[in-house]
A and B are shown apart, each in its own frame.
Chain A
Amino acid sequence: MRGFASARAIPTLVRVGFADAVAYRAELLVWVLSTSMPLIMLALWTAVAAEAPVGRFGEADFVAYFLATFVVRQLNSSWVAWEMNFEIRTGALSMRLLRPVHPLLAYGVDSLATLPLRGLVALPVAGILLATAAGDRLATDGASWALWIVAVAGGWLLSFFAGAAIGSVAFWTGTSNKLMEAWLALFFVFSGYTIPVELFPPALARVADALPFRYQIGLQVELMTGAHDPRTALGLVAVQWLWVGVLGLVAAVLWRRGLVRFGAFGG
């Protein structure tokens, strides 16, 4: 019954989370600007490709890739690690623990509640993507888009569980922000966020395949731009969901064990 009661609370959690997210309009604008890295990379890489294609990537391919990256980035962000880190360190987590809804669910809903806003940012970019020549580079078959939806959900869960696992480390270390920064540094290199993984040297590409970062964002972009045949795509999505399972398990174990150490500081 606990699950049902929590599920009934989700629409209200989402609504209140959304109201909280739009409380500060100026901060919202700054946050939108902070996700513009793919647009910068787009300018850089199209300039490079103007001379000659890079691998199979011409100018239009880079435009399609980085506009798709921008759109996917809006759909997979999660700041749970920072939120948990702050709440564990200051004891603010206490107030979440007093409520009969699992705190990880509450954190997740907080993140999801901003999706409509992120959608508002992503939609015009998606429109540009479709309206320009880069639109020709997008996948056209229904199966790829069906897999893309599964991969977007997987990418969000992967980012969320990674953040929850890293946030939980703060139960032991007091703060885990630096660990999250280290994770983000690797994410920027290996996820395909700044360079398509396809352009990596073969040895580095194999490393990227084995790590979870590519499945946070790169895979979804590759599926959007039709980079894989259906069989390869299915295999990659399976690997992504394997990572979702692994990181979900790690997050759950760290959360349960960490909670025993929670100091509930302050007040």
Chain B
Amino acid sequence: MISVRELRKHFRVHRRAPGLVAAARSLFRRRFDEIRAVDGVSFEIAPGERVGFLGPNGAGKTTTLKVLSGLLHPTSGEVRVARCEPRRREREFLRTIMLVTGQKQQLLWDLPPAETFELNRAIYDVPAAEYRATLRELDDLLELGALVERPTRQLSLGERMKCELAAALIHRPRILFLDEPTIGLDVSMQAAIRGFIQSYNERSGATILLTSHYMDDVAALCPRVVVIDLGRLSYDGRLDELVRRIRPEKRVVLHLAREVDASELVSLGRVVAHDGHQAVLQVAQDALNRTVGRALAELPVRDLTVESAPLEEVMSELFARSRAAAGAVEAGA
């Protein structure tokens, strides 16, 4: 469904120091840097997959999504989305995909979202009966109700994002690129949007490529992740495998009936957090059963859970490693 081979996108960016003198100088002599936003990325995505596209700020995620959706022309490399070359922006391609970003909107600012829905119905040539059925379904899933009749500018961020998603799905795209769709939303709205994305994927079989800095989004939605940093691919595979590879240790979370001293915990594993009635221990995978057994036997345990390391920590570790590797390569060169 999506095939990316050796994708590169380089930008020429004007650089100028602050201040009046630098501003005057830049009138006559400009300095440019070449930014390698994406630098040789390859991956494939099968129909119906939900893939998390992760990386720190400036890693090249959004640039890649923009290339995949035909907004940016690649510097080099081969990109195919639904057998089309995105940069050509053929009608069939544009009917197949949609890009939703948390920071750019397609809703008409001064008009109610219903007008944008109607506009998209006409632009995508959606038959009236199909349009009504899609709207009913989206209304059910997103609980749009009367929101669609209020001017967009008077909607809250979360309400707007719901309407953005609805507008994006009027033509039932088979490929959905989601760039930070939950940014700035409160926890319950994030959960609602996540639930909707999963439901859309399951109902329609659409392929979904998602970027998000909220690891809860990724953990809930994406069995597979593609990680890039400094424009290069640093991981492509199952999310649980990434966690196992980067942080093989498990976290044992203990809720205790009485306060225990840290000295009672250190023999069980590395104490990650401890505040009297609660403690978090980090233990090696092969020591897990033994640690759990000892904890239950030796401590006043009221409740015990075993978790993987938080995804945020896993990603930080992965980024640190990939940056160290990139630094080593550059130093060697």
Within 8 A of A (CB), among B92-146: 94-95, 97-99, 101-106, 108, 110-111, 115-116, 118-125
CA distance A1 to B108 in the complex (A): 27
Query: Shortest distance in angstroms between B121's beta carbon and chain A's nearest beta carbon?
Result: 8
Q: How many residues of B contact A (CB 8 A)?
A: 36
B52 within 8 A of A: no
Which A residues are in CB contact (< 8 Å) with B72? 262-264
In the complex formed, the residue of A with least CB distance to B173 is: A98
The proximity string for A residues 86-125 relative to B, scoring 1 for CB distances below 8 Å and 0 otherwise, is 0000011011011111000000000000000000000000
Which B residues are in CB contact (< 8 Å) with A101? 123
Say which residue of B98, B103, B118 sits within 8 Å of A16 (CB atoms): B118
Query: Are A97 and B70 closer than 8 Å at their CB atoms?
Result: yes
Say which residue of B69, B91, B110 sits within 8 Å of A20 (CB atoms): B110
B62 within 8 A of A: yes
CA distance A263 to B67 in the complex (A): 11
Query: Are B91 and A98 closer than 8 Å at their CB atoms?
Result: no
A146 within 8 A of B: no
Query: Shortest distance in angstroms between B189's beta carbon and chain A's nearest beta carbon?
Result: 19
A231 within 8 A of B: no
B11 within 8 A of A: yes
Which B residues are in CB contact (< 8 Å) with A92? 104
Which A residues are in CB contact (< 8 Å) with B97? 98
Which B residues are in CB contact (< 8 Å) with A264? 66, 71-72
In the complex formed, the residue of B with least CB distance to A93 is: B71
Across the A-B interface, the 8 shortest Cβ-Cβ residue pairs: A12-B122, A267-B103, A267-B104, A23-B110, A100-B94, A9-B122, A264-B71, A267-B101
**Chain A residues within 8 Å of B, Cβ to Cβ:** 1-2, 5, 8-9, 11-13, 16, 19-20, 23-24, 91-92, 94-95, 97-101, 259-260, 262-264, 266-267
- 20 of the cross-chain contacts (CB-CB < 8 Å) are A5-B91, A8-B122, A12-B123, A16-B118, A19-B111, A19-B115, A20-B111, A24-B110, A94-B99, A94-B104, A95-B105, A97-B71, A98-B70, A98-B106, A99-B123, A101-B123, A259-B73, A264-B71, A267-B62, A267-B102
Given A98-B99, A260-B73, 5 more pairs with CB closer than 8 A: A16-B111, A16-B116, A20-B111, A98-B69, A259-B73
